[in-house]
Every structure is written in C-alpha cells, then in structure tokens.
C-alpha cells in the first residue's frame, strides 16, 4: 500500500520538521511570556506594599547595583538551565524580581492623580509596539540579526548615561534616555521575534527571556516618559 502514501524527499522532511519546531517554540514562547506577566505584577505589588520601593528611592545607586547583580545573576542561571524545568522556574523568579524593581517607578507614577491612567496608557502603548513588531517579524524577509551588535552598543551607552544621571538628576537627560531606550528595545524586540519566527532560536526559555526584557524596557521607559510629561499632582 506504500504507493498510495505521499512521497517526500529528505529536503521536504527537513522542511516539515523545521516548521514544526518553529511553531512549537513560538507557541511556547508566547505562552511563557504571558505567564511571566503574573509574577511581574506580583513582584511589583510586593515591592509597593512592603515599602521596598521607598527604600529604593532613597538609595538609587545601591538600587542599581542590586538590580544589575540580581538581573545578570538570574539571567546567567536561566541560560545555564534553559534545557530543563529549573530554567522555567528561574525565569519566573527573574520576572518577579524585575517586577519588584519596577515598583519604585510604579509607586511614583501611581502617586499622581492620573497615575492609573498613565499606567494603562503605558501598557496599551507597549502592547501596540509588541503587536507591530510581531507583525513586522513575520513580514520582513531580510535577516535583521546583524543589527543586534549596533543595538548592544546603544544599550551600553544608555546604561552609562543612566548611571551618570543618578548623580546629575537631569529631567531632560532622563527623558532622552527613555526615548532612545524605547527605540532600541523596540528594535531588539523585532530582532528577537524574527529569530524565533525564522527558526534561529530553538529554545523557548531563551526566547522568552530575550523578548520579556524587550517588553519590560519598552514599558518601563514609556511609563517614565508619561510620568515626566503627563503626570499630575493635583
């Protein structure tokens, strides 16, 4: 009865397998990314209700050191365990930590009379950016991974500028940093999404970590801009 079965050459088998892997990684990435928002919200709530956000506000330099040490330490652990279930647990712990570190900015914005509205605007703007980048990732045929090196240089410059502004406390510099950060991490989001769509990333834990960082930074910097330009204390 073999003559009635569709015949596939080895190249076709490979293509079918590649498509299945890409679809599975993309599906798992989106699911894990959605789930990761839960510990992020819980971490932010814990930071605000425990008063940690106020402690961070009084020691911004120490807060940045803790943030960098905690974030990079957890990211290293996630990458080392991305092939097992511990990697997922560490990723969710990481998102809780990131939510807790976000509580300082959230507490500041929510202290404004229109704070809740600003948070919703930031969330909606981030969702719009994500939707746009996801659409572009599936439609742009050119490989954009080469742009990552230039974007990384931009991130290093942003980090140095952010450290400097801890001491300078210049609103104009903070606004500039946030605008540039949104552009850079939106580009990173496009690159990371395209890598998953094209099959360049085959581990959904690593894919989720990369895209989560993009989404997190777009949201945080968009919220910072709204807090500076649209916040009201009346």
CA atoms of 78 and 96, how far apart (whole Å): 14
pLDDT for res 165: 85
DSSP single-letter state for residue 113: T
Beta-carbon contacts of residue 219 (< 8 Å; ≥ 6 apart): 122, 123, 126
CA atoms of 234 and 228, how far apart (whole Å): 14
pLDDT for res 234: 56
Number of domains in the chain: 1
pLDDT for res 167: 84
pLDDT tens digits, one per residue of 166-207:
888 888 889 999 999 999 999 999 999 999 888 888 899 999
| Any domain includes 35 | yes
The pLDDT of 139-150, averaged and rounded, is 82
pLDDT confidence tier of residue 151, bands split at 50, 70 and 90 = confident
| Any domain includes 234 | no
The pair of structure tokens assigned to 8 is: 């596939």
Instruction: Indicate the pTM of the whole model.
Output: 0.88
CA atoms of 10 and 220, how far apart (whole Å): 47
Question: 207 is in which domain, residue-wise?
Answer: 2-229
| Any domain includes 47 | yes
């Amino acid at each position: 009865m073999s003559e009635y079965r569709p015949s596939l050459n080895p190249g076709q088998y490979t293509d079918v397998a590649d498509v299945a892997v890409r679809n599975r990684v993309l599906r798992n990435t989106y699911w894990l990314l959605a789930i990761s928002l839960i510990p992020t919200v819980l971490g932010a709530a814990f930071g605000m209700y425990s008063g940690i956000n106020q402690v961070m506000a009084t020691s911004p330099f120490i807060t940045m050191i803790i943030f960098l040490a905690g974030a990079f330490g957890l990211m290293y652990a996630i990458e080392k365990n991305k092939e097992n279930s511990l990697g997922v647990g560490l990723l969710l712990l990481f998102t809780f930590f990131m939510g807790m570190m976000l509580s300082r900015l959230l507490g500041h914005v929510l202290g404004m009379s229109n704070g809740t509205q600003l948070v919703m605007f930031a969330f909606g703007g981030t969702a719009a950016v994500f939707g746009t980048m996801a659409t572009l990732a599936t439609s742009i045929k050119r490989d954009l991974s080469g742009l990552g090196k230039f974007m990384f240089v931009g991130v290093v410059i942003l980090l140095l500028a952010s450290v400097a502004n801890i001491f300078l406390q210049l609103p104009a510099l903070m606004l500039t940093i946030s605008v540039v950060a949104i552009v850079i991490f939106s580009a990173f989001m496009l690159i990371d999404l395209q890598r998953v769509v094209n099959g360049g990333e085959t581990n959904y834990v690593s894919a989720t970590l990369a895209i989560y960082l993009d989404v997190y930074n777009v949201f945080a910097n968009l919220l910072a801009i709204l807090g500076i330009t649209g916040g009201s204390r009346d």
